[in-house]
């Protein structure tokens, strides 16, 4: 994902994103990944990742919400009164979250049952609010969409990685297809339970930090949140 | 003053637009969601009654199955007795079956289930706890359906009787200690879940046994199934 111009091909200086598209994209997916670097939104990253499919649907949900809310908050950024900007952000975010939850209930019922309250809880996800506050309020719509997409993808990628590990080790399968035969593999119950998620996430963050430390040792790393 | 007026107008417009959007989406998606919920209910009932159906069937196909009066697999009828709705089905091997819904508190959240009895209204044909939030891997075992001959917790209820000796219902014993015709082995490490499951099974068993004659003599509400499905 580092070299290919995935976000927008026209992103040279003076391109449609004002030259910021590619940098914004890399920032969200890798250099400032919402989960592994900023450690935001890990509540859902721990709760829904016992299966790969659930993790990816949750990732799609976050991409949808992040892109949608960033776009509209950016469009409204000059007319939102400062005093109520957070309430306005939450209202827009909540609209997108509920919309996604309703669509899931209508067309992907089994998944909706499995994800339970966690789709609705995206409203309180720090990543979405964080991108709205930190990016969409200061930037034009198009590059805000790129930012939302990048952060959503960054979240989805980490969730997918955790989900793949947990499902493989905990249930011996990937996407519900058995990979490790029960005849010689004893399923690791720990991976299905919450501690397994913490352990996998811990290893992933360590890996990200090790890789980033090599590339740039002076990078200041913001931390905290849930 | 001017600022607060602008704030109020912005908040009002935003609120109305968001609410309008969601209301519209809700109106458009409602039929699909209701069909899903209804199909989910019938899937649970079909499972516990041993009705054969295509497990990959989507909500729409499943409801068509319920609606179709001449489909042999759709011949599940409802009877009203003792203030409950009971689902009956003529199983090709086990004969007449009765399924009744029950619910009660679990360890972490409410548990919903279906108890399916044979024609004598005493012998358990099947039991299912289709909605539960018990500890995954421990109490959560109650949610597993018996499949491929693998014995699950619910599978142990099959063939047991809810009619004594002693209190109506089933005794959930400590693992490997069940011996009587109304006793099943509990789940190791899930004593609290087992206690709660036993309590709700006992409760519904007592109601069924008390109203046994009324249930056995009740007439099926013909077309009830079709009518309900037709609403969506």
Residues of B in contact with A197 (CB under 8 A): none
Residue A165, in any domain of the structure: yes
Chain A CB within 8 Å of residue B188 CB:
no
pLDDT at B79: 84
Which pLDDT score, from 0 to 100, does residue A11 have? 44
> Is any Cβ of chain B less than 8 angstroms from the Cβ of A92?
yes
* Cross-chain Cβ contact B22/A80 below 8 Å: no
Contact with chain A for residue B33, Cβ under 8 A = yes
CB of A193 less than 8 A from some CB of B? yes
Return d(Cα A9, Cα A60) in angstroms, integer. Answer: 23
Pick among B39, B110, B136, B143 to test the A interface (most A CBs inside 10 A): B136
Is A78 inside any structural domain?
A: yes
- The model's confidence at residue A158, banded by pLDDT at 50, 70 and 90, is very high
Predicted TM-score (pTM) of the model is 0.74
A109 in B contact zone (CB under 8 Å): yes
A15-25: pLDDT as tens digits: 556 667 888 88
Residue A13 lies in a domain: no
Q: How confident is the model at residue B69 (pLDDT cuts 50, 70, 90)?
A: low
Q: Which chain B residues have a beta carbon less than 8 Å from that of A111?
A: none
Q: Which of B13, B20, B22, B187 would you mutate first to test chain A, the one with the most A CBs within 10 A?
A: B22
Question: How far is the C-alpha of B68 from the C-alpha of B192, rounded, in Å?
Answer: 43
pLDDT above 60: residue B111 = yes
Q: pLDDT tens digits for A56-108?
A: 999 999 999 999 999 999 999 999 998 899 999 999 999 999 999 999 999 99
Contacts 24+ apart (CB under 8 A), A1-10: A1/A26, A1/A29, A1/A30, A2/A26, A2/A30, A7/A146, A7/A149, A7/A150, A8/A146
Q: Would A90 be classed as within a structural domain?
A: yes
A to B CB pairs, distance under 8 Å: 56
Question: Which of B6, B9, B11, B131 to mutate against chain A (most A CBs within 10 Å)?
Answer: B11
Query: DSSP class of residue A222?
Result: -
Q: Tokens at residue A132, please?
A: 């709205």
Q: Does A83 touch chain B (CB under 8 A)?
A: yes
Chain B nearest CA to A43, separation (Å): 18
Q: How distant is the alpha carbon of residue B99 from its chain centre?
A: 9
Of the listed ranges A16-30, A197-211, B93-107, the one predicted with least confidence: A16-30
Which of A34-48, B37-51, B139-153 is least confident?
B139-153
> For chain A, how many structural domains are there in total?
1
Closest by Cβ to A91, choosing from B18, B33, B137 = B18
| B46 pLDDT more than 90 | no
The pLDDT of residue A151 is above 60: yes
pLDDT tens string B88-98 = 888 888 888 99
Q: Is residue A156 part of a domain?
A: yes
> Does residue A5 belong to any structural domain of this protein?
no
Q: Flag if B137 and A80 touch (Cβ within 8 Å).
A: no
Longest C-alpha distance within chain A, in Å? Answer: 63
Predicted confidence (pLDDT) per residue in A102-128, tens digit: 999 999 988 998 888 889 999 988 899
Q: Please identify among residues 137-176 of chain B the ones whose CB lies closer than 8 Å to any CB of chain A.
A: 137
Q: Is A113 a domain residue?
A: yes
State the ipTM, two decimals.
0.75
Note the pLDDT tens digit of each residue in A178-189: 888 888 888 888
Query: In the predicted model, what is the mean pLDDT of chain A?
Result: 85
Range of the domain at A134: 23-208
Asked if B22 is an interface residue toward chain A (Cβ–Cβ < 8 A), one would say yes
pLDDT at site B70? 56
Give strand ranges (E) for B92-212.
Answer: 95-105, 110-118, 124-131, 171-173, 183-185
B203 touches chain A (CB under 8 A): no
- Helices vs strands, H then E, count in chain B: 5, 7
Please, which pLDDT band fits residue B203 given cuts at 50, 70 and 90?
A: very high
- Report chain A residues whose CB lies below 8 A from the CB of B33: 102, 105-106
Query: How many separate helices (H) and strands (E) can be counted in chain A?
Result: 9, 2
Q: Is the CB of A109 less than 8 angstroms away from the CB of B59?
A: yes
Would you tell me how many other CB atoms lie within 10 Å of the CB of residue B213? Answer: 10
Contact state of B137 with A91 under an 8 Å Cβ cutoff: no
Instruction: Look at B14 and A92 and tell me if their CB atoms are within 8 Å.
Output: yes
Distance CA B98, CA B104 (A): 20
Picking from B6, B33, B36, the nearest residue to A81 by CB comes out as: B6
Spatial distance between the Cα atoms of B142 and B155, rounded to a whole number of angstroms:
10
- A123-148 in b/e form (b: 16+ CB < 10 A) is bbbbbbbbbbeebbbebebbbbbbbb
**CA A167 to chain CA mean position, Å:** 19
A82 inside domain: yes
In this model, does residue A174 exceed pLDDT 50? yes
Cα-based angle B85, B87, B90 (whole degrees, multiple of 5): 155
């Amino acid at each position: 994902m580092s070299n290919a111009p995935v976000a927008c091909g026209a992103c040279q200086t003076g391109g449609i994103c004002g030259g910021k598209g590619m940098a914004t994209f890399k920032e969200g997916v890798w250099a400032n990944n919402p989960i592994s670097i900023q450690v935001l939104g890990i509540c859902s990253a721990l709760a829904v990742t016992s299966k790969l499919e659930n993790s990816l649907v949750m990732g799609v949900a976050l991409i949808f919400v992040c892109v949608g809310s960033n776009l509209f908050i950016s469009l409204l950024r000059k007319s939102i009164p400062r005093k109520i900007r957070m309430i306005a952000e939450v209202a827009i975010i909540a609209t997108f979250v509920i919309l996604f939850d309703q669509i899931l209930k209508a067309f992907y019922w089994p998944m909706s049952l499995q994800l339970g309250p966690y789709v609705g809880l995206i409203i309180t996800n720090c990543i979405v609010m964080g991108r709205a506050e930190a990016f969409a309020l200061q930037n034009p719509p198009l590059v805000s969409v790129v930012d939302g997409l990048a952060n959503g993808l960054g979240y989805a990628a980490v969730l997918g990685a955790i989900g793949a590990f947990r499902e493989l080790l905990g249930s011996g399968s990937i996407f519900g297809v058995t990979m490790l035969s029960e005849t010689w593999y004893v399923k690791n119950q720990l991976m299905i339970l919450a501690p397994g998620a913490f352990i996998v996430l811990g290893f992933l963050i360590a890996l990200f930090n090790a890789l980033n430390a090599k590339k740039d040792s002076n990078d200041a790393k913001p931390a905290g949140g849930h | 003053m001017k600022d607060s007026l602008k704030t109020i107008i912005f908040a009002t417009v935003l609120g109305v637009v968001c609410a309008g959007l969601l209301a519209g989406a809700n109106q458009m998606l409602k039929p699909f969601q209701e069909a899903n919920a209804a199909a989910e209910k019938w899937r649970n009932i079909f499972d516990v009654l041993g009705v054969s159906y295509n497990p990959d069937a989507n909500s729409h196909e499943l409801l068509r199955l319920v609606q179709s009066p001449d489909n042999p697999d759709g011949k599940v009828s409802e009877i009203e007795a003792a203030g409950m709705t009971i689902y009956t089905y003529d199983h090709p091997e086990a004969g007449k079956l009765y399924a009744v819904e029950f619910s009660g508190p679990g360890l972490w959240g409410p548990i919903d289930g279906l108890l399916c009895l044979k024609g004598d209204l005493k012998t358990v044909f099947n039991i299912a706890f289709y909605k539960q939030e018990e500890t995954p891997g421990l109490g959560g075992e109650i949610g597993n359906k018996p499949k491929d001959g693998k014995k699950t917790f619910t599978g142990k209820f099959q063939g047991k009787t809810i009619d004594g000796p002693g209190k109506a219902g089933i005794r959930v014993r400590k693992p490997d200690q069940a011996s009587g015709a109304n006793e099943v082995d509990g789940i190791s490490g899930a004593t609290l879940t087992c206690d709660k499951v036993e309590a709700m099974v006992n409760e519904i068993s007592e109601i069924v046994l008390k109203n046994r004659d009324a249930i056995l003599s009740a007439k099926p509400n013909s077309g009830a199934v079709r009518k309900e499905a037709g609403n969506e």
